Amino acid sequence: MKLDTKSLRYLNPTDWRTLTAVETGSRNHEVVPTPLIANLSKSSVGDVQRSISLLAKANLIAKVKNAKYDGYRLTYGGLDYLALHSLQKSNAAYSVGNQIGVGKESDIFVVSDEKGEQRVLKIHRLGRVSFKKGVRNKRDYARTKAQKERGAGSWMYMSRLAAVKEFSFLKALHEVGLSVPTPLGQNRHQLIMSLIDGFPLRQIEKVPNPAGLYAELMDMLIRLCSLGLIHGDFNEFNILIREQDEENGEIKLVPVLIDFPQMVSVDHPNSEFYFNRDVECVKRFFSRRFGFVSTEDGPFFKDAKKLLGQDGIRRLDVEVEASGFSKKMAKELETYMRDHGIDGDAKNSEAIHEADESEASASDDDDGNENEDHHGGASDMG
C-alpha cells in the first residue's frame, strides 16, 4: 500500500484533532457519526466540517452511508498518519523515503531522523490480504464473534498487536545482544528500527565459508531457544547479511535476524514443530544454494531446551509477557493469523516449496495454493 505523506505537513491542529476523533470514535462505532466527531474533537462544527472534507479528500477518512445515519471511518491511510505523526513527535522519524519491502502483511520504508540518519519503518497491515478462491470460503466462518463486534476496527487492532509484539521481542533480543536491528520506536501499527546495511540471505549467491555461516545460524536458533524463544519464520528472507570489516583487513559476513510477529515461547504447544521447521529451512537453503550439507544431525529441540534458564540465562518469553504483551494478546494475534492463513515468509521459501512438491505433504490441505503469487514477497533492497 502506498504511503502518501504529501498532506502530512499541511494538517493543522484542528485537522489532527478531527482525525484523532474519528479514530477514537471507531473503537465503538463502525461508522462514526459527524456530531460525535465534532464532540470528540472539541472544535466548532464549522471547523470540524472543514477538517472532515480535507481529511476525506486526502483519503485519511472515508464517508460511509449507513442505514440510520451517515458518518466516517478511519482508513489505513488515516491510521498511518496518526502513527507517523506520533513517531515524528517523539523524534523517531523525521521524513519518509522509499519503500523497500512489500510483504503480504507489512510495508517497509526507509525513513530519516532529523540528522538524516536512515532508519526502517515497518507498517503492519493485517487484514489487507484478500483471500484467494477456496481459501476464502473455508475461512470466512473463522471471523470470531469478537472480531465481528469490533467490525472495521479489527484490522487496526490486529495490526497494532503485531507491531507491539514485534517491537517487544526486538527490544528484548537487542537487550541481550542478539544480532537484530536496534529498536527505535513504536506507535499503533508501526515500528521503527535501525537500517541494516545488507541483503537478505535469499539474494546472496555465494559465501566464502558456508559451514561457518551455517554454524552461526544454528547457534542463533539454539541461543534463542535458551532464552525461551523460537523465531518461527527463520529463513533466507528474514536473515539479513551485513558485511563487516575486520581488523585483519578481511570482510566478515554478519547475519542479522528480523521479522518477529510469529515468535513463540518454548512452552507453546507446537514449539518443537516450529523449532524443527526453522532448522529445516536453513538446512534446505544451504544445501540448495551453497551445496552445503552438515555432517551433523540436529540441532534438536530437546537438547536446545536443556539450556533454558541455565546459568541465570534470562527467559525472554516470560519477560516480554510481563512487560505488557500478555498471553491473551498473544493468543488473539495467533488465532487471527492462523484463521487468515498468515504463516510468514517460510511459505515463500524455495526450499519449502520444492520440499512440498517432492514430499507431497499430506498434512496441508489448503495451504499449497496460497504460495503462488507470493514468490519474492520480500522485496529487494535498493
Provide the minimum distance between the beta carbon of 175 and ligand ADP in the complex, in angstroms, as a whole number: 17
Of residues 323-352, those binding ligand ADP (CB under 6 A)? 345
Around 295, how many Cα atoms within 13 Å sit in the side-chain half-sphere?
1
Rounded to a whole number of angstroms, the distance between the first and last alpha carbons of the chain is 18
The one catalytic residue in 15, 233, 278, 317 is: 233
Q: Which does 282 bind (CB under 5 to 8 A by kind): ligand ADP, Mg ion, none?
A: none
Q: What are the distances in angstroms from CA 275 to CA 42, 61, 83, 307, 313?
A: 52, 42, 34, 15, 19
Contact map string, positions 145 to 184, toward ligand ADP, x by CB under 6 A: ------------------------------------x---
Q: Which does 181 bind (CB under 5 to 8 A by kind): ligand ADP, Mg ion, none?
A: ligand ADP
Of residues 186-245, those binding ligand ADP (CB under 6 A)? 193, 195-196, 200, 237-238, 240
- Measured distance CA(125)–CA(162) in Å, rounded: 9
Q: What are the distances in angstroms from CA 366 to CA 136, 137, 143, 215, 349?
A: 10, 11, 18, 34, 17
Region near Mg ion per CB under 5 A, out of 247-255, 276-284, 301-309, 340-348: 340-348
Provide the minimum distance between the beta carbon of 207 and ligand ADP in the complex, in angstroms, as a whole number: 17
Provide the minimum distance between the beta carbon of 231 and ligand ADP in the complex, in angstroms, as a whole number: 11
Contact map string, positions 251 to 290, toward Mg ion, x by CB under 5 A: --------x-------------------------------
Q: Which does 381 bind (CB under 5 to 8 A by kind): Mg ion, ligand ADP, none?
A: ligand ADP
Q: Which does 195 bind (CB under 5 to 8 A by kind): Mg ion, ligand ADP, none?
A: ligand ADP
CB-CB contact of 178 with 224 (8 Å)? yes
Of residues 238-297, those binding ligand ADP (CB under 6 A)? 238, 240, 258-259
**Closer residue to Mg ion in complex, CB, 43/238:** 238
CA 168 to chain centre: 12
**Closer residue to ligand ADP in complex, CB, 122/165:** 122
Closest residue by Cα to residue 85 from 41, 137, 20: 20
- Measured distance CA(147)–CA(341) in Å, rounded: 16
347 Cβ contact partners less than 8 Å away, ≥ 6 residues apart: 367, 370, 371, 374
Q: What are the distances in angstroms from CA 167 to CA 20, 91, 287, 322, 348?
A: 23, 17, 32, 14, 23
- Measured distance CA(258)–CA(237) in Å, rounded: 9
Q: Which does 106 bind (CB under 5 to 8 A by kind): Mg ion, ligand ADP, none?
A: ligand ADP
β-strand partners of 239: 257
The answer to whether 349 contacts Mg ion (rule: CB under 5 A) is no
Among 18, 43, 238, 348, binds Mg ion (CB under 5 A): 238
233 classed as catalytic? yes
**Closer residue to ligand ADP in complex, CB, 222/378:** 378
Of residues 80-139, those binding ligand ADP (CB under 6 A)? 100-101, 103, 105-106, 108, 120, 122
**Closer residue to ligand ADP in complex, CB, 19/346:** 346
Burial class (CB in 10 A: 0-12, 13-18, 19+), 286: buried
Cell of 22: 474519528
Q: What are phi and psi of 198, to 5 degrees?
A: -170, -165
Active site residues: 233
Q: Please give the residue ranges that form the binding site for ligand ADP (CB under 6 A).
A: 100-101, 103, 105-106, 108, 120, 122, 181, 193, 195-196, 200, 237-238, 240, 258-259, 345, 378, 381
